[in-house]
Amino acid sequence: MELTVWTYEGPPHVGAIRVANSMRDIHFVLHAPQGDTYADLLFTMIERNKKRPPVTYTTFQARDLSGDTAEIFKTAARDAVARFKPQALLVGASCTAELIQDDPGGLAKTLGLNVPVVPLEMPSYQKKENWGAAETFYRLVRAFAGGAGKPETAPEQASCNILGPTSLGFRNRDDIVEVVRLVESLGIRINTVAPLGASPADLARIPEAHFNIVLYPEIADTTARWLKRQFGQEMVTTVPIGVGATRDFVTDVARVAGVAVPSELFETGAERLSWYSASIDSNYLTGKRVFVFGDATHAIAAARIASEELGFKVCGLGTYSREFARDVREAAAKYGVEPLISDNHLDVEDAIIAAQPELVLGTQMERHAAKRLRLPCAVISSPVHVQDFPARYSPQMGFEGANVIFDSWVHPLMMGLEEHLLQMFRGDFEFHDEAGSSHLSHGGPAAAHQPGTESEQSVAAEAPAPEAATANTAANDDRPAWTSDAERELRKIPFFVRGKARRNTESYAAENGLNPITIETLYDAKAHFGR
């Protein structure tokens, strides 16, 4: 038994619904009690879908348990086929139905339905949403592509399938557009995109392509591995998030397809991240500490962009995707940080506090943590929120995706810069303590609420942002004190490096057993660290 407040992933049947809702001409009959229909609003509210997801919930009640819940399932399945006329029927059980062991697959078989039935086993007390989506996609592809042998003659033009985008996936809607454009610019034909937008007939055509692009391993890895074993289709597993990864992706795709990369592809001017990052305005991004957390795909990609393309320092990296923990551990080793593999958001919040980042890249959960800690944050991964389905075109993948990422990560920091300027000029008559931050709506400036003299207040305001929240954590209990002379000297250091100077001085003092910190200590530390 595990105590949970918020979860990163829903139960596996929600993953199955995501796949069903991604596709055309599929209907899912889910054996479930009343209440499990809440899943519909994920799609109609968060994703603003214009149709209900193609799911029938059998809605059994307590009084049915002593009677015939199997009969309720059979009626629901028959009615669903008659009403929705799908090309294929998925059947499965939610957590409660799993306990009553009605065997939806077996029951559906006895009905003599005139459509193919794909039964799902969703171990709700063991697995989670992404696993459920991956398993459902795999079962569907096996069911519809599995019967065919390897197609005899491959078409002359190189072709591929794009596997993994799903309903409720983080920016998947726009990623597909970007990736299709990129792949087609190499002269490669897109055979199928699945599950998003595919029908069962499209799944049956998957083996006709030369190779598969695994866009989201969390959803498509199982399927692509099976396709490789079954049909010898190569897998491209480079996820094109970021400039470097997009270049690698293009190279990999071209290699697998046996085509040349057109020389103009990288020089069209469509990609702006590289120049924006090189421009002198971006100098202040250098060495910014970023904490990265999300699903494995987005977290690994974000760490690479942060480190190689924006010149940040990755100070924390983690994922809730236990299935891909190994990949995240490898990446963390590259950046010299301890990997955090956890689906407990409180552990993640503690890790953020300990890492003292200047920017948090995470899920909606970390956005809330960052808001509490008064840290800038950008969302990079599911679980999704209505904000993660912007009206505008906003991919993460490809060159346009890199542009979007530059804006969405750097703008919160620029807002942070404004914040510092506000505090720098707080003595001027236009500014005053009550003039709160322009972008962090969460209360006024921390210093304004703290008792103490004017000088103490300004010092507190200039401390690293998370300080207020970390004041009572163990990590700070043994922090050396500052003499007032040293505090005053610290305040003369330009605001944009002051947080770092404070941190460096304190760690230098702690290492050398110096307490309290004097002006001497401050400059000794500066000499020691080189800046």
Catalytic residues: 281
Report how far residue 377's alpha carbon sits from residue 465's, in angstroms, rounded to the nearest whole number: 13
CB closer to other proteins, 386 vs 475:
386
Q: Which of 28, 60, 144, 508 binds other proteins (CB under 8 A)?
A: 60
Burial label for 329, CB within 10 Å (0-12, 13-18, 19+), is middle
1 forms part of the interface with other proteins (CB under 8 A): yes
At residue 314, what is the residue type?
V
> Which of the ranges 75-83, 270-278, 390-398, 444-452 carries the binding residues for other proteins, by CB under 8 A?
75-83
Minimum CB separation of residue 76 from other proteins in Å reads: 7
> Which of the ranges 34-42, 170-178, 187-195, 388-396 carries the binding residues for other proteins, by CB under 8 A?
34-42
Cis ω for the linkage preceding 516 (within 30 of 0): yes
39 forms part of the interface with other proteins (CB under 8 A): yes
Minimum CB separation of residue 104 from other proteins in Å reads: 15
CB closer to other proteins, 123 vs 444:
123
> Which of the ranges 37-45, 170-178, 196-204, 308-316 carries the binding residues for other proteins, by CB under 8 A?
37-45
76 forms part of the interface with other proteins (CB under 8 A): yes
> Which of the ranges 96-104, 152-160, 429-437, 506-514 carries the binding residues for other proteins, by CB under 8 A?
96-104
Is the CB of residue 266 less than 8 Å from the CB of residue 258? no
Report how far residue 196's alpha carbon sits from residue 172's, in angstroms, rounded to the nearest whole number: 9
* Residue length of the chain: 531
What does the DSSP 8-state code read for residue 309? Answer: I
Outline where DSSP puts E strands in 399-479.
Answer: none
CB closer to other proteins, 48 vs 439:
48
Q: Which of 67, 71, 75, 281 binds other proteins (CB under 8 A)?
A: 75
CB closer to other proteins, 94 vs 470:
94
Site for other proteins in 328-387 (CB under 8 A): 346, 364-365, 368, 372, 385
Query: Computed from CA positions of residues 489, 492, 493, 499, in that sequence, does the dihedral angle turn out positive or negative?
Result: positive
Minimum CB separation of residue 381 from other proteins in Å reads: 15
Residue 476: helix, strand or coil by DSSP?
helix
Minimum CB separation of residue 122 from other proteins in Å reads: 11
Token pair of 202, please? 């499209």
Q: Which of 21, 56, 161, 297 binds other proteins (CB under 8 A)?
A: 56
Report how far residue 253's alpha carbon sits from residue 264's, in angstroms, rounded to the nearest whole number: 16
Helices (H), 282-359: 296-304, 325-335, 345-355
Q: Which of 15, 33, 398, 499 binds other proteins (CB under 8 A)?
A: 33
27 forms part of the interface with other proteins (CB under 8 A): no
> Which of the ranges 41-49, 206-214, 327-335, 499-507 carries the binding residues for other proteins, by CB under 8 A?
41-49
CB closer to other proteins, 49 vs 483:
49
Report how far residue 335's alpha carbon sits from residue 354's, in angstroms, rounded to the nearest whole number: 17
95 forms part of the interface with other proteins (CB under 8 A): yes
35 forms part of the interface with other proteins (CB under 8 A): yes
What 3 state SS string does 417-436 have? HHHHHHHHCCCCCCCCCCCC
Report how far residue 127's alpha carbon sits from residue 69's, in angstroms, rounded to the nearest whole number: 24
| DSSP secondary structure of 215-229 | S-HHHHHHHHHHHHH
96 forms part of the interface with other proteins (CB under 8 A): yes
62 forms part of the interface with other proteins (CB under 8 A): yes
CB closer to other proteins, 14 vs 118:
14
Dihedral, CA of residue 163, residue 169, residue 170 and residue 176, to nearest 10: 40
At residue 467, what is the residue type?
E
Minimum CB separation of residue 5 from other proteins in Å reads: 5
Q: How many residues at the interface with other proteins, by CB under 8 A?
A: 57
Site for other proteins in 413-452 (CB under 8 A): none
How many other CB atoms sit within 10 Å of the CB of residue 140?
A: 26
- Measured CA distances, 488 to 45, 415, 492, 508, 527 (Å): 52, 26, 7, 19, 19
Residue 91: helix, strand or coil by DSSP?
strand
Q: Which of 76, 522, 419 is nearest to 531 (CA)?
A: 522
156 forms part of the interface with other proteins (CB under 8 A): no
61 forms part of the interface with other proteins (CB under 8 A): yes
Token pair of 352, please? 């953020």
67 forms part of the interface with other proteins (CB under 8 A): no
Binding site for other proteins (CB under 8 A): 1-7, 9-11, 13-14, 33-42, 44-45, 48-52, 56-62, 65, 75-76, 79, 83, 94-96, 99-100, 123-126, 128, 346, 364-365, 368, 372, 385
